[in-house]
Amino acid sequence: MDLFGNRPHIIVVFFRIASAILIFHGFTLSGQQLRVPHDMNPAEMEIRPLFRQDTVTIRFFGDIMMHSMQIQKALQSDGTYDFSTYFAHMSEYLDDSDLNVGNMEFTLGGEPYSGYPVFSAPDSFADYLAECGFGLFLCANNHILDKGKAGLRRTLSKYHDLASDYGIRFTGAATDEEEMRRNTPLIINLKGIKVAFINATYGTNSPRGDGWPKTNILSDKAALASAFEQAGRRADICIALVHWGEEYVLKHNRKQEENAEWLAGQGADVIIGSHPHVVQDTDIINIEGRKVPVAYSLGNIVSNMSAKNTQAGLMATIRLIRHFNGDVEISSPEYRFTWCSRPGGYGNSYYVLPVSAFSDRKEEWKGKWEHDKMTSTIERVCRETGITENNNN
């Protein structure tokens, strides 16, 4: 006797109910459910996973800067700018991730272009970064208002263009209240895992004033708490990206630690810092049964700085694993040191180099002295921060 008749949808309901009961009691049908289109014979039913196991790789880079010397060096005879050497040796890492995140510590305020203390980079620099694979631009930093609100508005307008041309996203600043609601928290779906990003800065060098556009401020705890509440409801994972700390100091301070504890208490699963222009130590915050990794500062990824420790950077990688039962696990961060070589060092331009790959290639360097500087700097930073490559705290 045909118990169900020619009604495959009834079979679907039956098996879904049965699967739900088994899962409730700790069992799965090998992590699978039955799917039957209404026009398919029950004998041809397709089996597919309830959840596909996926791994998402996210890489974080430190301060991306554009000093006057970089602008001058990149200028070509036809008036264009060439930044092509910057990340030429980093493609292995930029290509092998699902999302690359960088702190854009400059404005696109238009000509005349300028470096410190009022940063205004050529528009083509942002295009180059998008072409290299940076997919999330962080805007909340102390230099974002260097060219005033008009400069911030123009910067965000250019980022809107890059969103259309390259699919980049940005967070930490917004042109109006509606955009701020959309990007704080900014939620990005990566292979089915919803990741929330919340970006804020301790302050800005230029007055913020009233009205829009605005940037997120770390001391505005009420606004940030609201963003974390939304992230908790709408996302699987929440990552806090904060601009804070004392410049040129290799160890975090008490204020950073207090803010990190507050961010973890609000629901941050990972905390990544920037601003000091040097690599700072890392930590793990234990809160309510969760372990929240903190990288207090990733240092500079590219700049014209040459002062002690400022050419070293830290690339932080986290992996999110979606298991068959739907749970999302965060791997311990992996850390790799980078070095920003200035003209006359590795070559005639600026190069970001993975230290582990270039430490034993001294013969390639134009200026052997900078190779020695790189080696001694990394040894010192490791000694004083306790960080080692592929450090899994």
Can you give the pLDDT at residue 52? 64
Please report the pLDDT score of residue 390 as a whole number.
72
Q: Please write the tens of the pLDDT for every residue from 266-287.
A: 999 999 999 999 999 999 999 9
Give the burial string for 194-211 (b: 16+ CB within 10 Å, else e): ebbbbbbbbebebeeeee
Q: For 167-179, b where at least 16 C-beta lie within 10 A, e where not — what string?
A: ebbbbbbbbeeeb
Mean pLDDT of 138-164: 98
* Residue 15 reports pLDDT greater than 80: no
Tens digit of each residue's pLDDT (9 = 90 or more) over 208-254: 989 999 999 999 999 999 999 999 999 999 999 999 999 999 999 99
Task: Please give the single-letter amino acid code of residue 350.
Answer: Y
Query: 40 — phi, psi (to 5°)?
Result: -105, 140
**Pairing label, strands 300-302, 54-64:** parallel
Q: Is pLDDT above 90 for 46?
A: no
The position carrying tokens 């010397």 is 69
Beta bridge partners of 55: 321
Residue 303 has pLDDT above 70, yes or no: yes
Q: What is the DSSP string of 307-344?
A: STTTTEEEEEEEEEEE-TTS-EEEPPPEEEEEEEEPTT
CA 200 to chain centre: 13
CATH code of 54-385, in short, is 3.60.21.10
CA-CA-CA-CA dihedral for 354, 186, 107, 88, to nearest 10: 20
Give the alpha-carbon dihedral of 336, 341, 346, 348, to 10 degrees: 150
- Per the CB < 8 A criterion, the answer to whether 170 and 130 are in contact is no
Looking at residue 325, its pLDDT comes to 85
* Other residues' Cβ atoms within 10 Å of the Cβ of residue 388: 10
E strands in the chain: 32-35, 46-49, 54-64, 99-104, 134-138, 169-171, 173-174, 186-190, 193-201, 214-215, 237-243, 270-274, 282-287, 290-295, 300-302, 312-322, 328-330, 334-341, 351-354
d(CA 23, CA 20): 5
pLDDT tens figures, 67-85:
999 999 999 999 999 999 9
Stretch 346-357: mean pLDDT, rounded? 97
Would you say how long the chain is, in residues?
393
| pLDDT above 60: residue 9 | no
Does 373 have pLDDT greater than 70? yes
* pLDDT greater than 80 at residue 193: yes
- Provide the β-strand partners of residue 343: none
HSE-CB at 331 with a 13 A cutoff on CA atoms is 20
Name the residue among 222, 137, 127 with its Cα closest to residue 172: 137
Residue 192 and residue 269: Cα distance in Å, rounded? 18
Share of residues in the chain with pLDDT > 90 (%) = 83
Amino acid of residue 187: I
Write the DSSP string, 207-220: ---SSSSEE-BTT-
Average pLDDT of the chain, as a whole number: 89
Q: Which residues on neighbouring strands pair with residue 57, listed in sequence order?
A: 319
Q: Where are the domains of the chain?
A: 8-49, 54-385
* pLDDT of 10: 42
pTM: 0.86
Q: How confident is the model at residue 7 (pLDDT cuts 50, 70, 90)?
A: very low
Instruction: Tell me the CB-side half-sphere exposure of residue 75, using CA atoms within 13 A.
Output: 11
The CA-CA-CA angle for residues 283, 286, 288, to 5°, reads: 155
